[in-house]
């Protein structure tokens, strides 16, 4: 796929699809982390990605290339939530976070949740504004204060996937901070079980 700076408008992120791949093209001006930090993050993402993912720097852009999924977005059932929790706990143990966990960034492929749309950095300049690239309601309060995304924001997004009740009861609490995603899922399940038995 050819790209040149001539056909890209400044500060616009472009998306392209081919038969098998999805491309996301970032003008370098948009990316507000050092290129060295972005390179480290992208190599970490490559190491944990559940599908083909690669990137390339050009003179003026960063191009992300990933497998094109033809699956579907849908609410996750308990086994799928469990698989996603295991995956998130694994990437968090490697000091990696996604930063934007919600249904539109998850494809179900053969009954398995696949997390897509990894950003090269979470602080970007869009329409002349510095923004944190994440689903705004899902940013952990602590992360919002320091203007930096961490696994806390992943956990908050995961709670929203479990249920509105889990989100309203546990988002931005000490439980969310201290428990893993699997533990949060188990905690919510046991809380539901005890409320039914009362």
pLDDT for residue 5? 44
Q: Which pair of tokens denotes residue 173?
A: 């609490």
Q: Quick check: 138 and 156 in contact, CB under 8 A?
A: yes
- Give the tens place of pLDDT for each residue, 47-58: 999 999 999 999
pLDDT for residue 7? 47
d(CA 67, CA 109): 12
pTM for the whole structure: 0.88
The percent of residues above 70 in pLDDT, for the chain, comes to: 89
Q: How large is the angle between the packed helices 151-162 and 181-197, nearest 10 degrees?
A: 30
Helix, strand, coil percentages, rounded to 5, for the chain? 45, 20, 35
d(CA 69, CA 114): 9
pLDDT for residue 11? 67
Q: 67 pLDDT band (50/70/90 cuts)?
A: very high
Task: Please state the rounded mean pLDDT for residues 65-70.
Answer: 90
What stretch of H or E contains 131? strand 129-132
Q: Quick check: 52 and 68 in contact, CB under 8 A?
A: no
pLDDT for residue 3? 47
Q: 4 pLDDT band (50/70/90 cuts)?
A: very low
Q: Tell me the C-alpha to C-alpha distance, in Å, between residue 53 and each of 15, 16, 108, 196.
A: 15, 15, 17, 44
Q: Quick check: 120 and 31 in contact, CB under 8 A?
A: yes
Give, in words, the CATH class of 9-193.
mainly alpha
pLDDT exceeds cutoff 50 at 136: yes
Sequence ranges of the domains in the chain: 9-193
- Give the tens place of pLDDT for each residue, 21-48: 999 999 999 999 999 999 999 999 999 9
Task: Please state the rounded mean pLDDT for residues 87-100.
Answer: 96
């Amino acid at each position: 796929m050819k790209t040149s700076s001539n056909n890209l408008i400044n500060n616009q992120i472009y998306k392209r699809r081919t038969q098998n791949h999805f491309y996301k093209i970032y003008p370098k001006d948009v990316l507000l982390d050092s290129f060295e930090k972005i390179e480290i993050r992208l190599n970490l993402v490559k190491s944990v990605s559940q599908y083909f993912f690669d990137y390339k720097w050009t003179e003026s852009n960063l191009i992300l290339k990933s497998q094109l999924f033809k699956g579907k977005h849908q609410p996750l059932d308990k086994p799928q939530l469990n698989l996603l929790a295991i995956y998130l706990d694994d990437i968090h143990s490697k000091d990696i976070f996604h930063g934007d966990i919600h249904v539109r960034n998850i494809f179900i492929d053969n009954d398995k949740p696949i997390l897509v749309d990894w950003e090269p950095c979470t602080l970007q300049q869009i329409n002349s504004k510095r923004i944190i690239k994440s689903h705004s309601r899902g940013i952990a309060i602590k992360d919002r204060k320091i203007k930096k995304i961490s696994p806390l924001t992943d956990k908050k997004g995961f709670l929203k996937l479990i249920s509105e009740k889990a989100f309203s009861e546990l988002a931005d609490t000490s439980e969310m901070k201290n428990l893993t995603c699997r533990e949060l899922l188990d905690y919510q399940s046991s809380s539901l079980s005890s409320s039914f038995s009362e």
